[in-house]
Every structure is written in structure tokens, then in C-alpha cells.
Chain A
Amino acid sequence: MAVTMVIGNAPTISLSFLSQGYTMASVIANEFTEATTDLYRSSLIEIGLLLLIVTLLVNAAARLLVWRVTYSTGSRSLLS
């Protein structure tokens, strides 16, 4: 929500860091209460699902990284 307030909420893809943008969470937050048709609502929930999958992948990657570093080097004392 903090991001939603400052990012500008423009539904365009831009390569500039200084232009306005949009985040998946912002789209849902801004448009869900206006979604009048079933298709519109379903699309927004689909964005939610994508967001969920992204989170899952990032979490899994992080866990994998931790396991790699912890067990493969065999020098746990350096990390703890």
C-alpha cells in the first residue's frame, strides 16, 4: 500500500526508473472494488494467484540458497 501511494499507478510498461509504474498488488487494491463484471473480478484474482506463485518461487529459491551454503561447504562455524 505504501508503494501504491507513490508509484503513480500508470498501466504502462516503462524502462525508466523515474516514470510512473504499477505493481501487481496496486492493481488489485485500486481496481477490485470497481470490478463490476465476473471476468474483471476473476482477472484481478488471477493477478493475486500470479503474485502468490512469484512469492512461492522466491521463498523456495531463498531456502535453497540457505541449504546450499549451510551444507555444501561443510564449514558451518563460519556462518553461525
Chain B
Amino acid sequence: VTAATSLGIPGRNLRRRRTTDRVMRVLLGLTAVVAVIPLLLVLLYVLLQGLPALNLALLTQSPVPAGFPGGGVAPAVVGTLIMVGLGTLIGTPVAVLAGIYIREYAGGRGATVIRFLVDVLAGIPTIAVGLFAYGLVVVPMGSFSALAGAIALAIIIIPIVARITDEMLGLVPGSVREAAYALGIPPWKTIVRVVLPGAATGIITGVLLGVARIAGETAPLIFTALGNQRVTTSLGEPMDALPLRIWVYATGPYDSWHTQAWAASLVLVFLVLAFSILTRLVLRRRVAGRA
């Protein structure tokens, strides 16, 4: 193929090229639709199956033995809030600082190596993270605990937030940093007062992504938090979590369990959704207030 034909001379084969363009456009549009279909189907199905079983008792009561009417997943709701919250609190500072180090301090080769390692950490199956937390916390402490679950979740959120922080800091123009240096501001203060605020929205979006991700994790909690039939807020005790409860109920043999699993799935989806929307609203208000 010569350069002239590959570039295309205006006027020649114009109709054929226009047709090709249109066909490809439609095909690409279709692939976008196909990519969104699973999301819609999952949401719709969870809504259809979960809404009939959703009631106040589900959110306020503890599980009852199978076969008895009523009961709920209150321990799981409380447990998810506590462990996801604590995991995020532990993981986010580490992740943001790691992201800052990679982008601002590590330098070419160092940054490449750390990025690779962080990507590997992000790719580790979450069940292996659970095993690690089991060995790190459960064995020395001698019991399953919410703390072990939170630490496992923190390990999962770290690479997600670290990489996004890294990318977001990279989007802050170098000229902004140079302007700060020109005013005699030291590098560390430039990062804290100039670069970080510029990237804050993106970093917070990354944290939200991470929270949504760990809120749905079952595997790292099976042998760290273990699950609990009662509401507990003690970090030293086994604790329930929504994905854990859904897993137990969905794979169990009772119809009443299956309906509650659907309802619990709906609660989990809406919990994550509500949290994301709330954070965005608060963020928007703060940004608007500053301007």
C-alpha cells in the first residue's frame, strides 16, 4: 500500500468511504450498547428479585434460624459499614502517600518498578489477600476478627487508590509546579498546597471506586471476619458483612435464604450508590463554596 492510497485522496472513493464510516460508527455504537447491557440487566434483576423481600425488618433484625419467618441482615449492614470504613481509613492514607511518592519523588526507573509492583498487588486474587490477613492477624490474635477483615480490605484498596493518585498527580501541569518553585516554595509545600488540591477531585473519585470495590468483596472476609449472627461493633470479634451473608444465603438450600440474599444484594448496591452520590454532592458543594 503506497502512502497516497492509504492517506486517501479527497474525492476518490468518497461514497465508499462515507459508507464504511457510517457502518463502522454503527458497529462501534453497538459494542458500547453491548457493554452497558449487563449493568442494566443486573440492576433490573436485583431490583425485581430484591424489592419484594425488602422491608424494615431486613435492616433492623438479626438472622433467625432457617424455616422461621422474618429475620434480617442487620449484623451484615453494620459490619459492612464498619469494616469498609475502617479498611478505607487504613488504606487511603498509605495509598495516597504511595501515589505521591511514585509520581513526585521516585524518578523514572524507580517509578516504573513501583508501578509494576503496585499493579501486581492490584492483580492478586482477593482470596490470597484473605489468606495473608489470616496469617498476619487471625493466627497471632488467636481468633477471627473484624480487624483482620478490615486489614484485608485495606490491602485491596491500597493499589487501586495509589495508582489513581499517581495518574491524577500526573495530570497536574508541570507549569503549575514551576510557578510554585519560581515563587520560592519548597517542593514538599508545592505538593501539599498546590499539586494535591489540583488533583483532589480525581483522587476522591479513586477512593470512591476503591470503596465500591471493597464493599462487594466476599473472598477476603471468609476466613478473616468469618461472619456473625449478632450485631457487634467490637473489632476483636467475628463480624458479619453483606457480601458474606449474601454468599452464605445464596449458596444455601432454603428459599427464605434466597429471597433474603436478593434483598441484601439490593441493600448493598444501594448502599454503595448512596455513598457515591453523597460524597459527590458534598464535594461539589465544597468546590462551589471555594470558587
Contacts and interface: CB of A to CB of B under 8 A. Distances in A.
A55 to B, nearest CB: 5
A55 B123 CA distance: 6
Contact of A55 (B124, B135, B251): B124
Given A29-B219, A32-B222, A48 B247 contact: no
B127 A25 contact: yes
Contacts of A52: 124-125, 128
A24 B124 CA distance: 13
A63 interface: yes
B120 A55 contact: yes
B131 A28 contact: yes
B247 A33 contact: no
DSSP class of A's interface residues: helix, strand, loop or mixed?
Answer: helix
Contacts of B250: 5
Contacts of A33: 222-223, 226
B176 to A, nearest CB: 22
B270 interface: no
Contacts, number: 54
A69 interface: no
A1 interface: yes
B180 to A, nearest CB: 28
B222 A48 contact: no
B123, B128, B243, B247, most chain A CB atoms within 10 A: B128
B129 to A, nearest CB: 9
Interface residues of A, number: 19
Given A55-B125, A63-B116, A45 B131 contact: yes
Interface in B109-130: 116, 119-120, 123-125, 127-128, 130
A56 B120 contact: yes
B contact patch SS: helix
Contacts of B130: 28
A45 B125 CA distance: 13
A50 B178 CA distance: 47
B260 interface: no
Contacts of A48: 125, 127-128, 131
A25 B222 contact: no
A29 B222 contact: yes
A74 to B, nearest CB: 18
Interface string A27-41: 011001100000000
A59 B120 contact: yes
Contact of B123 (A1, A29, A59): A59
A75 to B, nearest CB: 14
A71 B64 CA distance: 61
Contact of B218 (A1, A55, A58, A63): A1
A51 B116 contact: no
Interface in A46-70: 48, 51-52, 55-56, 58-60, 63
Contacts of B247: 1, 5
A59 B127 contact: no
B6 to A, nearest CB: 13
A45 to B, nearest CB: 6
B219 A1 contact: yes
B219 A25 contact: yes
A1 B251 CA distance: 11
A63 B218 CA distance: 29
9 contacts: A1-B217, A5-B250, A25-B127, A28-B128, A29-B219, A29-B222, A33-B222, A55-B120, A59-B119
